[in-house]
Amino acid sequence: MLTVLVINSKGGSGKTTLSTNLASYYASKKCKTALMDYDSQGSSLQWLKLRPSHIEKIHGANAVPPKGAVIQRSIQAWIPTDTEMLILDAPAGTKGLLLQELVRKANYILIPVAPSPIDIHATADFIKDLYLTGGVRSSTAKVAVVANRVRSDSAAMYASLENFLCALKLPILTSISDSDRYLQAVAKGLGVFEMDEIVTAKERRELLPIMKWLEGHVPNKNGIRTESKVINLEDSRKWKAYRADGFSLNPTGRFNHYN
Ligand SMILES: Nc1ncnc2c1ncn2[C@@H]1O[C@H](COP(=O)(O)OP(=O)(O)OP(=O)(O)O)[C@@H](O)[C@H]1O
Ligand SMILES: [Mg+2]
């Protein structure tokens, strides 16, 4: 089973939108899919209730910890034993023990981020948390960022986040546009891969780099600011420049040049 955690402590960054679209994509490929909603708002589970009965089933689980509870049951207690793809939709504000528990469960961690300065700053803080207290550095989980609700005028806003991600060797897998298709899909309990192929061609194209990454594809070698906004951090001159500038984790685990 592959477990994908969709998380950002910043509210409204697109966690549920990404979770539901991933779940519906894998379900539509006949992969046994489960979606665990850790958010007390229950948005993913509400979306599941809207799913038409003739569409591929997705198992939904309410994973919101009861008030006061710290340790949760193992995942196996929540989902069918033959689950192949498990998506964890995290709530806003995740930190502390819950953050550590989710990181422990994940094979892949996806961080959607919206292009406002406030969102980007909060996301950089969250990534810091993920590394310094969340246990990512000692886990085998792969981490990547997805730019969400991107408009044609958003690119400049990502520059500071991109600098930070370069230092951490985190790829930005793709840019998801601000599109009504995502809203239309949510309203019907669907993902864009279950809607008309021609109408959703752009949305499908922008989501596919995520699936490729989950299926083991390494982000494009030549990548900084390519069409799909994939950054190749290892080879890029930009990355080396940030390294030279000391924009990295120092031996005490703190970030140089980033507060
Ligand atoms: N790419 C997009 N295009 C258009 N609307 C979007 C897009 N992504 C998200 N939205 C809308 O933005 C709002 C917030 O998105 P979403 O619920 O996915 O965020 P979230 O991170 O799960 O929020 P929360 O932190 O409250 O759980 C929703 O109304 C959603 O439909
Ligand atoms: Mg949500």
CA 101 to CA 4: how far, in whole Å? 13
Ligand 1 mutation pick, 7, 8, 17, max ligand atoms within 8 A of CB: 17
Question: Residue 125: inside a domain, yes or no?
Answer: yes
Domain count, the chain: 1
Question: Residue 253: inside a domain, yes or no?
Answer: no
Contact between 195 and 184 (Cβ < 8 Å): yes
Supply the pTM of this predicted model. Answer: 0.85
Identify the CATH number of the domain in which residue 141 sits: 3.40.50.300
Query: What is the tens place of the pLDDT at every residue in 171-191?
Result: 999 999 999 999 999 999 999
Q: Which is nearest to 238 in space by CA: 167, 172, 174? A: 167
Question: Residue 158: inside a domain, yes or no?
Answer: yes
CA 256 to CA 259: how far, in whole Å? 8
Span from the CA of 255 to the centroid of ligand 1 (angstroms) = 30
**Ligand 1 atom 15 nearest Cα:** 14
Question: Residue 254: inside a domain, yes or no?
Answer: no
Which residue numbers in the chain have pLDDT < 50?
221-259
Question: Residue 30: inside a domain, yes or no?
Answer: yes
Question: Residue 251: inside a domain, yes or no?
Answer: no
Question: Residue 190: inside a domain, yes or no?
Answer: yes
The per-residue pLDDT for 159 is 73
Question: Residue 255: inside a domain, yes or no?
Answer: no
Query: What is the tens place of the pLDDT at every residue in 121-145?
Result: 899 999 999 999 999 989 999 999 9
Domain ranges, residue 210: 2-244
